[in-house]
Amino acid sequence: MESILVLTHVDEGGSALTKASLEVVTAGMEMASRLSTSLAVGVIAADATIAAGALTSTGARLLAVSGSIFAQPRYASDAAACEALCRAANASIVLAPGSSRFARVAAGVAHRLGGVIDTHITEIGGSESVEASRWFYRQRIEAVISRDRRPWFLLLDAGTHTAFAGATGGMDVEQVAVELPAMRTTVTGLRTPIKDAQTIRPDAEMLFVAGAGWTKKQPDGQIHVDEAARLILGFLQATGASLGSSKSLVDQGGDNQQVLPFLSHLNQIGQTGATPRHAKGLSTCCHGEEPHVVGWRFIGERRAVSLDPNCGWTRGKADVVYVADAFKVMEKLNALLNAGKA
Ligand SMILES: Cc1cc2nc3c(=O)[nH]c(=O)nc-3n(C[C@H](O)[C@H](O)[C@H](O)COP(=O)(O)OP(=O)(O)OC[C@H]3O[C@@H](n4cnc5c(N)ncnc54)[C@H](O)[C@@H]3O)c2cc1C
């Protein structure tokens, strides 16, 4: 019989579990019920007992690694903590969020335990055995993986499960002792971009895509990059949407063309870019070519604003296409959004 352990960690605030961790808790509960087996959840935090309060109603065995040394991500301490939790739970299946914190240590921990690991898991099924799905070749091929070797670590992509939410309260948490190796890394602090500069927001409801049209000559024969920047940033500020881009637009910097300064290749959506998950997507000034749209596989409702009535979006790639000037549409949209807020 499988013994399932979900590994979780807290967010930067230090007291609440990350949304991605809570999503994996849901996946663990579903798997435990499908396989009729028990579930353990391991929490890593400075004070893991506070964070574990959110898991009261899971009915899972709660294990924790606590201490100020676990407040910050660090390979040596995180790997030791995960290893100790896996050993304490005697886990055969270990589920964890594919966060930067766990992605960094999970393969090493699997190796220490003589196990195996698969990453970017989007779905877990199987009633007799465990079957994990992931996408290959830029989300074009979906594979279902099963393995005999244990422990089997599965890192889940964010946004693939509903985050667990239940009654909070106190409950028994077993503290697990960790034998720490000598620490060579000291975390002196965090340097993060100011909030508005961070345009990639994986948890946002909506993806807003800017295409190369924003920096092209407009019907008046001029380019209007400053105005484009104002409209795009205004929309992001009003909606909290995540900013994506076409490849053509982010490549322009290398071609010595005028660019939108807040865009980088990290914003690129598509075959050679990202494939984010959002409930809705709005594409503007983008042609909707296949190498771009392949990155929209996990976007729910799709809308586009393009001047070209023959663009890819109108050919079945979007649910709704507005054949219109995006400068005018976004100006009006921002005005309506801001009026609604006032
Ligand atoms: C191997 C390979 C991999 C690739 N990978 C990717 C990838 O990962 N991601 C990606 O995006 N692309 C990728 N591409 C490139 C892709 O094929 C397209 O070239 C690119 O997506 C085009 O970007 P675009 O639609 O923004 O620009 P354009 O093709 O220049 O389209 C601009 C659009 O804006 C419209 N427009 C202009 N002004 C306005 C206005 N005022 N209002 C409304 N609409 C307006 C125009 O009508 C036009 O339709 C790849 C290509 C190859 C060969």
Q: Looking at ligand 1, which residue's alpha carbon is closest to its atom 23?
A: 248
| Model confidence at 261: pLDDT above 90 | no
pLDDT bin (cut points 50, 70, 90) of residue 193 is low
Reported as a single tens digit per residue, the pLDDT across 71-124 is: 999 999 999 999 999 999 999 999 999 999 999 999 999 999 999 999 999 999
3-state secondary structure string across the chain: CCCEEEEEEECCCCCCECHHHHHHHHHHHHHHHHHCCCEEEEEEECCHHHHHHHHHHHCCEEEEEECHHHCCCCHHHHHHHHHHHHHHHCCCEEEEECCHHHHHHHHHHHHHCCCEEEEEEEEEECCCCCEEEEEECCCCEEEEECCCCCCEEEEECCCCCCCCCCCCCCCCCEECCCCCCCCCCCCCCCCCCCHHHCCCCCCCCEEEEECHHHHCCCCCCCCCHHHHHHHHHHHHHHHCCEEEECHHHHHHHHHCCCCCCCCCHHHEECCCCECCCEEEEEEECCCCCHHHHHHHCCEEEEEEEECCCCCHHHCCCCCEEEECCHHHHHHHHHHHHHHHHC
CA of 248 to the centre of ligand 1 (A): 6
Q: State residue 187's pLDDT score.
A: 85
Rounded distance, CA 18 to CA 175, Å? Answer: 20
pLDDT bin (cut points 50, 70, 90) of residue 139 is confident
Q: Looking at ligand 1, which residue's alpha carbon is closest to its atom 7?
A: 270
Question: Among 94, 189, 108, which Cα is nearest to 150's?
Answer: 94
Burial class (CB in 10 A: 0-12, 13-18, 19+), 225: middle
| Model confidence at 250: pLDDT above 80 | yes
Rounded distance, CA 262 to CA 195, Å? Answer: 13
Reported as a single tens digit per residue, the pLDDT across 302-331 is: 999 999 999 999 999 999 999 999 999 999
Give the residues surrounding ligand 1 with Cβ less than 6 Å away.
211-213, 216, 218, 246-249, 268-273, 285-287, 289, 291-292, 295, 305-308, 311, 325-327
CA of 268 to the centre of ligand 1 (A): 11
Q: State residue 202's pLDDT score.
A: 87
pLDDT bin (cut points 50, 70, 90) of residue 170 is confident
- The radius of gyration of the chain from alpha carbons, rounded to an integer in Å, stands at 23
Rounded distance, CA 299 to CA 85, Å? Answer: 35
The span from the first CA to the last CA of the chain, in angstroms, equals 58
Q: State residue 322's pLDDT score.
A: 97
CA of 213 to the centre of ligand 1 (A): 8
Share of the chain above pLDDT 70, in %: 98
Ligand 1 atom closest to the CA of 273, numbered from 1:
8
Q: Looking at ligand 1, which residue's alpha carbon is closest to its atom 51?
A: 291
**Count of residues in the chain:** 342
Q: State residue 22's pLDDT score.
A: 97
Q: State residue 326's pLDDT score.
A: 98
User: What per-residue string of b and e applies to 15-39 under the rule 16 or more CB within 10 Å gives b?
Assistant: ebbbbbbbbbbbbbbebbeebeeeb
Reported as a single tens digit per residue, the pLDDT across 58-75 is: 999 999 999 999 999 999
Q: State residue 84's pLDDT score.
A: 98
Q: State residue 124's pLDDT score.
A: 97
